Amino acid sequence: MIELLDPTSPLVWAQSQAVDLGWGLALRWGLWLVVGFLGLFPGIVAYMVWLERKAAARFQDRIGPNRVGPLGLLQPIADAIKLLTKENLVPAGADGLVHLAAPVLVIVSAFLMLAVIPFAVGMAPVDLPSGLLYLMAASSLSPLGVFLAGWSSRNKYSLLGAMRAVAQLVSYEIPQVLAVIPIVLWGGSLSLVAIFDKQVEFGWFIASPPGLLAFLIMLIASIAELNRTPFDIPEAESEIIAGYHTEYSGMRFGLFFLAEYLSVFAVGCLVTALYLGGGMPLPLVRFPMNLLGDSLPRLILVDMVLLAVFMFKVLLFILFMFWVRVTLLRLRVDRLMNFAWKYLTPLAIVNILFAGIWYECVIRAGVLTLGGWLWGWVVTGPLVVFAVWLVVWINRRLLLGGPAGVGRPSLGGTRVDAGAAPG
């Protein structure tokens, strides 16, 4: 510690004053680490699995888990004990070290994403000036883990799954990152806390045509990033067993499982913080931030409201994911790529321009006025609708203009192969 504060020491670069590791901050970080990251978030994940099973059962006219505890509420605990005690099998030809490192990388990526989420006032674990970029960087680690899992298993299904996963994750990362740019533009900062503060001033970012479009792009791209139906091609069980985690068992499989649901939770938090106004109960209304005074009870009250609303929004997002999962069918691989590159990416790029127009109409003035807000809707609304229509129209024209059978569904043997000689 003395060395840290000594200005003559040649290595006093890092963090010496900015984050002074006094015991107060150390205690806060320790609490986040122990209570949040080791206790709370895995617990949330366990009950997300329970909720998904219950929700899926409801959709499919079943009952779902109901044997362990009332309403099957102890089922996740039983599952966790089962996963922990199961034998961990590693294939003989597998690359042992990499086989171990892959699930760790995936789960670390999922945990790191949660480190900058502002749950309520003063309740962001770490508030980095470039938090959003950090979040994107953390989430971009998981494809590496997925790929290594598939490669190290020495199993052709694993490898196929890994190839599919990497192609999909790399493709959908582009619209995902592009959909965040309007938020950065409006927020004027990469810090998630600053973005939340901006949404207190100017209403939820989703309450604008470019914001809505960006939210939808983000939603689709993040479902794809999470490998969930209808984008679960990397682990399509009817084609390639379980994809990249075919050869995983016991707690190593449990880590993949945990990481998947943790990522769903993290993306829910991210979308809520970026587009849905964090813990604000109503768009365009400052409540409960106007109650914030300098007294501690008020802060606690405001934080309780914010945290409850935040978690409610995340829950809605998670339920939406479950709903999509039990409703939609799996996409075809070529259509998956087409959708990312021909629909989402152009729309996301054009949307940045519309976001600039919205910025000029609404946010440039410095205060939110009803006139400016309505004017923004009048200007950008038709533009967004036109852009979506244009992209869809061009793609349909390209599809119809191309050779027959390309990109169109074919049934039975009725497909016509243009220009291809038999054999």
Partner 1 sequence: MIRVLFLVIAVTGLASALATVLIKNLVRAALALAGFFFAVACLFVLLEAEFLAALQVLIYVGAVSILLMFGIMLTRGVQGTDPASRPSAWRLPGVVIGLAVFALLGYAIFQETGLGTQRAWGAIDPRPAIARGTVEPGAPRRRAINDMGKVVGVELMTRYVVAFELAGLLLTAALVGAVAVAHREDDEPSRGEPSRIPSDPPITTSP
Burial 356-393 (b: 16+ CB within 10 A, else e): bbbbebbbeeeeeeeebbeebbebbeebbeebbeebee
Beta-carbon count within 10 A of 14 CB: 8
Chain mean position to CA 332: 22
DSSP string, 352-380: HHHHHHHIIIIITTSS--HHHHHHHHHHH
Q: How far is the CB of 225 from partner 1 (least distance, A)?
A: 12
The pair of structure tokens assigned to 335 is 């259509």
Site for partner 1 in 157-176 (CB under 8 A): 159, 163, 166-167, 170, 173
Under the binding rule (CB under 8 A), the answer on residue 24 touching partner 1 is no
Nearer to partner 1, 13 or 23 (CB): 13
Residue list 183-212, contact with partner 1 (CB under 8 A): 189-191, 193-194
Let me know: does 21 contact 33? Beta carbons within 8 Å. no
- Tell me: does residue 11 bind partner 1 (CB under 8 A): yes
Give the residue with the Cβ less far from partner 1, 17 or 295. 17
Q: Residues 9, 88, 290, 327: which binds partner 1 (CB under 8 A)?
A: 9
The one segment of 125-133, 244-252, 319-327, 355-363 that binds partner 1 by CB under 8 A:
125-133
Using CA atoms, how far apart are residues 241 and 290, in angstroms rounded to an integer? 53
Residues from 331 through 390 that contact partner 1 (CB under 8 A): none
The residue count for binding partner 1 (CB under 8 A) is 57
419 binds partner 1 (CB under 8 A): yes
Is residue 4 a contact residue for partner 1 (CB under 8 A)? yes
Do residues 299 and 121 make contact, with C-beta atoms less than 8 angstroms apart?
A: yes
Report H helices in 153-295. 156-187, 192-202, 209-225, 237-240, 250-274
Taking alpha carbons only, the member of 261, 138, 120, 142 closest to residue 192 is 120
Q: Which is nearer to partner 1, 73 or 167 (CB)?
A: 167
- Residue 12 interacts with partner 1 (CB under 8 A)? yes
Site string for partner 1, 393-412 (x = CB under 8 A): -----------------xxx
* Footprint of partner 1 (CB under 8 A): 1, 3-4, 7, 9-19, 95, 98, 101, 127-130, 133-134, 136-138, 140-141, 143-144, 147-148, 151, 154, 159, 163, 166-167, 170, 173, 189-191, 193-194, 410-415, 417, 419-421, 423
